[in-house]
Chains A and B, each alone.
Chain A
């Protein structure tokens, strides 16, 4: 079955500390994975996608097919990173969503 798992509902770290938001997936084909972010009072928006292999706002995510993971990382968290983060898997022109992780950056 196709599934996306984000094991942490809430992650709280101090400003300047490293951040890692976990995402694991289950998919039989070649996966296309995304991270979306929803800041307070803003719409859900794409943060990055594995195909682009880019860094957005200091965040990176590497697809690890062996571990079926697509964890989101940032070396030094900033207060403006506080938001809800969703991992999503592309399948048949739809997205299969994880439950989301709420990231809180403490000053």
Chain B
């Protein structure tokens, strides 16, 4: 498969569950991102990884835990979420460097519902 893939596409979980979202990019990029997209709210950047190192954590609650084992894979571990965490979670990748802010390629997202 090409581009950026995300699994699962839909997830329903209770507040006491533990689950993980997975993202994989097949583009040879060196940076990966997690975003939260809620209805009627701007796109929120959650985490950034450059060369597998986390470079940004935008005050995200600790119930969200990212993991980047290599430059092609990105996980978002979820535990004890709240109903307000229900949203579309988007993964993106880009090739950074050379002083340019290059295009980000997005996955289809995981639609998360917390009951």
Distance of A42 Cα from B97 Cα, bound (Å): 28
Q: Is B69 at the interface (CB under 8 A from chain A)? A: no
Grouping DSSP codes into helix (H, G, I), strand (E, B) and loop, the B interface class, with mixed when no group exceeds half, is: strand
Interface of A is mostly: strand
Extra A-B contacts (9), CB below 8 Å, given A93-B48, A94-B56, A95-B104: A34-B103, A43-B109, A44-B90, A45-B106, A86-B43, A92-B101, A97-B45, A99-B41, A100-B43
Q: Classify chain A: how many residues form its interface, as a range.
A: 10 to 19
Q: Measuring CB to CB, which residues of chain B are less than 8 angstroms from any residue of chain A?
A: 31, 33, 41-43, 45, 48, 50, 56, 90, 92, 94, 96, 100-101, 103-109
Which residues of chain A have a CB within 8 Å of any CB of chain B?
Answer: 32, 34, 43-46, 49, 86, 90-95, 97-100
Contact (Cβ within 8 A) A93 B101: yes
Which 5 pairs between the two chains have the least Cβ-Cβ distance? A90-B101, A93-B96, A99-B42, A44-B106, A97-B43
